[in-house]
Structure formats: C-alpha cells, structure tokens
Chains A and B, each alone.
Chain A
Amino acid sequence: MNLSRPDRADRLDRLAAEYALGTMPPRARARMARAARGDPQVAGVVHEWEARLSPLAAALPGIAPPPRVWARLAARLGLDGAGAGAMAGAPAAGWWSRLAFWRALTAAGFAAVLALGIALYAARPVAEPPLFAVLAGADGKPALIASAKRDERFLLVKTVGAPPADPGKALELWMLPQGQPPRSLGVLPAGALVRVPLTAPSGVALAEIPALAVSLEPAGGSPTGQPTGPVLYSGRIERMY
C-alpha cells in the first residue's frame, strides 16, 4: 500500500485520523504504525491528527500515579541522586491514591451511567420502543435485566445481582412459550453486559413469549435441549408498545 502517492492523499488522511483516534482494527493499526515509521509524509499526517485530537484530553481530571511508578522509573533508568530524589516530597502511596483511582473510575456511579444512557438515547434518531424483562431469583431480588429494541436482533442482558456460574457450569437463557416446552436462547456469555443473538428482530422472535428464564447447566449448555439444572431466575417480558 503506497500511502504517499498524491491520489491517495484523502485515503491517507482518513487512515491517519482513525489511527490517531484509535478505532483502527489491530492489524491495520500495526501497518499504519510501520508506515509512519518508514515514511515522513505518513508520520506528518498522523502528527497533524494527533495535534487536532489531543487537546480534547485537556479536560481530563488528573490522577496522581502512585509514587512507586517514579521509584521504578528512577531505578530502571539508573537515575542517581539528583533525579531519583527529586520526588522525595511526593505524597506516599496509600489508601488515598487508591481512592483517587477508584473515584476516578467509579465515583459518579449511577449519575454517570444515567447521563451516558441519556446521551446514548438522545443519539438515536428514532427510538424503537423496547421490551425488557427483570429476571429474579427465588428471593425476589433482581438478578438479570434483559432488554431489546423491537427492531434489534439481540437481547442485551445486564447482570445486576446474579453471581457468575461456577467453573464447569453455565447459565442458559430460555424463552418460555405459553403451553410449550422452553426454547433455548443459548448460554449467557460471561460479562456484566452481554448480547444474546436472536434469530429475528426481538418484536418478532419474542412476540409469543410471555417470559424468560435462566437455568444452571453444564458448561456449554444443556445437552438435551431442555433445562436439566435448576431454574435460577425468571421474569415476565414487559413490552413498552
């Protein structure tokens, strides 16, 4: 790929932009980095994009790294007195630095999740009405929340209280059609928020399904096509349409 030919200028610019932003897939990213090392023109266009984007990071609230980072750095580079000791006045590592770290990551909690949710919602030109189900255990506490827009071909499943399955076990999600045996939607992948594919848009695939359930199965899912382990959670499908 010769990125320096003039007729490729637009393409180079686009690639450099996505490289600098970071959305480029792994292999393309590695190719681009090589191209930038070998070709000053490519490097120049990448630098231009970095200069455009990096001021955006200015608003990031700073987080003091733990003092051990400097200590390791000084040791690694063999800095003697002058440099190594220069951080002596730095505050000691301790609960507060961990606290700062966690605050930055988690503090604003629900408010931030809500704000992000609203931003995402606002970003949708057309909001298809969703359906959702809160799956609860025998104790009545919510364990999982499943939701989908009517036109989406997947269920989004968020863990709110369910512990992960033990090793060698899996959680399998089932549709519970009226008067018929359960139909599997597959094993829930590990993760706080996962997607479970549907064979059709959810408005169609779940049209005749009043409820969902999760059973405990061997790793890989039920060998029989029907739940074999205990049903841990279940809940009605609610439709906002």
Chain B
Amino acid sequence: MAAAPPSDRSARIADLLAQVALGDQRAFAELYRLTSSHLYAVAVRIVREGAAAEEILQEAYVSVWHHAGTYVAARSQPLTWLTSIVRNRCLDQLRRREIDTVTMTRDDDDEPAFDLPSDGPTPVELLLRGAEASAVRDCVDGLDAGPRQAIALAFFQGLSHGELAAQMREPLGTVKSWVRRGLERLKRCLDSAGHAR
C-alpha cells in the first residue's frame, strides 16, 4: 500500500490535519502557511484568474477545516489529498462554465473560440520537473510526445478533450486516444515501479 516513506513535510502536514480535525486553530493556521502557496499555484494555473483562484482556495480550506477528519493517512499523502480538493473544485468550476456556454456549439469538431494558455513554464516542462521530484520520471519519459503533451495540458491547465484537440490542432479522436493510452501506460509503469497506491 504505502509507497516511499513520507517526507518530514508530509508527516508534518498529516499531523496538522489530525490536529485540525480536533478544531485546533493554530494547527489550521500553520497548515495554511505550509500549503497555501502550492495550492494557490495549482488553482491559478487551472482557472487563470486571481479572483476565482482565491475563491476556490478559500472554499477548499473551509472544507479542510470541516472535513480534516476524513483524511485517511494510510490512503494518500496529505498533499495529494489537499491538491485533489483544490483541483476538483477548479475543474468543477471550469466544466460548469463549459455547460453554460456549450449550447453554442453543435459538436466537438466545431470548437468555440479559445484563448492561448498562460505563459510561464510549459505544461510539459512542469510534467517532467514534477516527474523528477516524485521519482516517476522514467514513467513520464516513457510516454510518446503526443500523449505526454495532452496529459500535461490537461493536468496543469484543466483542458477538456475538446480544448485539447483545439489547442494541439489534432482531431478529437486522436487526442482522446492519446489521453487514454497515456494514462494506461502511466498506470502500468507507476504501479510496477511501486509508486502510487
């Protein structure tokens, strides 16, 4: 089940979560201090708007304050748990916006206007750097260029299949199968290397 031994930081965050579950305000403030920059960066990249990212961050910590007790240390790293709370809120918001505007489009081949992603390190750079940091570099390296790019854009910028196709200028079907194959391959590689899970 457990992978690499948790780092000191990770252990510290897990401890803080346990204290927050008991209503410890100091622990909550410390948790915020340790994790908010990372979580804000995740949110900003996906929603691309400071005000929306702030709102999501605030809601995420409200949820952490109320539900810290549901964090199960055996199940995931604490930062994974926190990151997922923020990413899921960001994605829910993006997809809701999509529902609001999707009535304009007839099908996936007829993409609405889209904007270029924000600048900064490219998603693929981040993917490779992240891979380095978490010792899954071999697995990311094993991906072909297309799937790697698609997964990077989806993960860091929250692009949907349709947006990926538009941005990568590839047919929707190609992009979907890149994502699927890329994820399958990552899973096989990570699981056999004994990382995730």
Contacts and interface: CB of A to CB of B under 8 A. Distances in A.
Interface of A: 13-14, 17-18, 20-27, 29, 33, 47-66, 68-70, 72-73, 76-77, 79-80, 82-84, 86-87, 90, 98, 101, 103-109, 112-113, 115-116, 119-120, 122-125, 149, 152, 156, 158, 189-195, 197
Nearest to B119: A112
B150 to A, nearest CB: 8
A54 B37 contact: no
Contact residues on B (Cβ < 8 Å of other chain), bracket: 35 or more
Nearest to B104: A189
Contacts of B84: 20, 47, 50, 54
Interface of B: 25-26, 28-30, 32-33, 36-38, 40-42, 44-45, 48, 50, 53-54, 57-58, 61-62, 65, 75-77, 79-80, 83-84, 87-88, 91-92, 95-96, 98-99, 102, 110-134, 136, 140, 145-146, 148-149, 151, 154-156, 158-161, 164, 166-170, 179-180, 183-184, 186-187, 190, 195-197
A47 B83 CA distance: 12
A218 to B, nearest CB: 20
A45 to B, nearest CB: 11
Contacts of A48: 196-197
A76 B160 contact: no
Kindly list the 4 A-B residue pairs having the minimum CB-CB distance in the complex, ordered from nearest.
A83-B25, A86-B29, A191-B113, A62-B37
A193 B116 contact: yes
Contacts of A55: 77, 80, 130, 133-134, 136, 195-196
A6 to B, nearest CB: 18
Nearest to A197: B110
Contact of A56 (B38, B122, B131): B131
A24 B161 CA distance: 7
Given A63-B44, A83-B26, A86-B26, A112 B121 contact: yes
Contacts of B96: 26
A17 B36 contact: no
Contacts of B119: 105-109, 112-113
29 contacts: A14-B180, A17-B183, A22-B87, A23-B164, A25-B95, A25-B160, A51-B75, A53-B155, A55-B77, A55-B130, A56-B127, A57-B42, A58-B79, A58-B133, A62-B40, A65-B36, A65-B37, A69-B54, A82-B26, A83-B25, A103-B120, A104-B41, A104-B45, A106-B118, A112-B122, A120-B167, A158-B116, A190-B113, A195-B166
